Amino acid sequence: MLDRLQKIIAHAGIASRRHAEQLILSGQVRVNGIVVTELGSKADPSKDKIEAAGRLIESEEDHVYLLLHKPPEVVSSLADPEGRRTLRNFLRGFPKRVYPVGSLDYADSGLVFLTNDGDLTSAMLKSWSHLPQVYHVKIKGRLTLEELDRLGKDTGTRLRTVRQPDSTRGRAANFWYEVHTTGAKLDVLRRTLFKELHPVEKVKRIALGHLSLEGIPQGRYHLLQESQADTLRNPQPAPKSLRPFTRPTNPHRHPTRPPKPKSPR
């Protein structure tokens, strides 16, 4: 399948998309032995020999799918020109080259889906605005039931209060809420809460479609079966209650022990 060179290079983990554009413009990209310097040029990684910065991009034949529990302060890509931690730090030892579909902000944590299946990636990105997502969001202060209902209607989301980590000790001043949304509506909610003097303090994505983060420790990942990943191809309405995450047989784990996850405060 033909795709833009900078996208192919970024998906291969050689460079970010912006850096990939610089590699093309500086003459460091070859397709079938010919130097390509024009942005927007396309190639088929399954048929063409593509080299970037002296590295050969190999085509992927076997598709793999995995969910990764991204810690906060990690870039949702495989490379970062600023030298910050990326998803690659948590994929050491994984034998296949995969790339993330969608992203989470640097400060946010939670579920990230990665694959080397270009067709599924294309289908997901085309229908991203309809793909159900569920987040746990901590805000400054707390909302009344009336405010939850109004904000949900104003932003096209669905909000409900969840059990507060410090509620039994009477210290829950800033509340957590569960947000069911699609597309970029979380950004709309974030801006609206800021205007209402309830700025968002923490964000954690706990579900994408019918796939849940449950059972995946922070900094670890689990392999998915193709049938599980295929549910992301044609988004269905968000479930009222999350289905439990089905742990695949023989899940891959990060080879080193991750830092002990902190309880939300």
Query: What are the sequence ranges of the domains in the chain?
Result: 3-57, 65-129+209-232, 132-207
Q: What's the CATH architecture for 132-207?
A: 2-Layer Sandwich (3.30)
The stretches in the chain having pLDDT less than 70 are 59-61, 166-172, 236-265
Q: What's the CATH architecture for 3-57?
A: Roll (3.10)
Question: Alpha-carbon distance 80 to 103, whole Å?
Answer: 14
User: What pLDDT was estimated at residue 236?
Assistant: 63
Residue 160: helix, strand or coil by DSSP? strand
User: What pLDDT was estimated at residue 261?
Assistant: 43
The tokens for 95 are 């034998």
Q: Minimal CA–CA distance to 221: which of 255, 254, 262? A: 254
Does the global pTM surpass 0.75?
no
Q: Minimal CA–CA distance to 24: which of 13, 11, 10? A: 10
Is 230 a known active-site residue?
Answer: no
Q: Has domain 65-129+209-232 been given CATH number 3.30.70.580?
A: yes
195-216 per-position pLDDT tens digit: 999 999 999 999 999 999 999 9
Burial class of residue 153 (count of CB atoms within 10 Å of its CB; 0-12, 13-18, 19+):
exposed
Question: Alpha-carbon distance 121 to 102, whole Å?
Answer: 9
User: What pLDDT was estimated at residue 37?
Assistant: 94
User: What pLDDT was estimated at residue 169?
Assistant: 53
Question: Alpha-carbon distance 18 to 9, whole Å?
Answer: 10
User: What pLDDT was estimated at residue 122?
Assistant: 86
Burial class of residue 171 (count of CB atoms within 10 Å of its CB; 0-12, 13-18, 19+):
exposed
**Which listed residue (48, 105, 166, 187) is catalytic?**
105
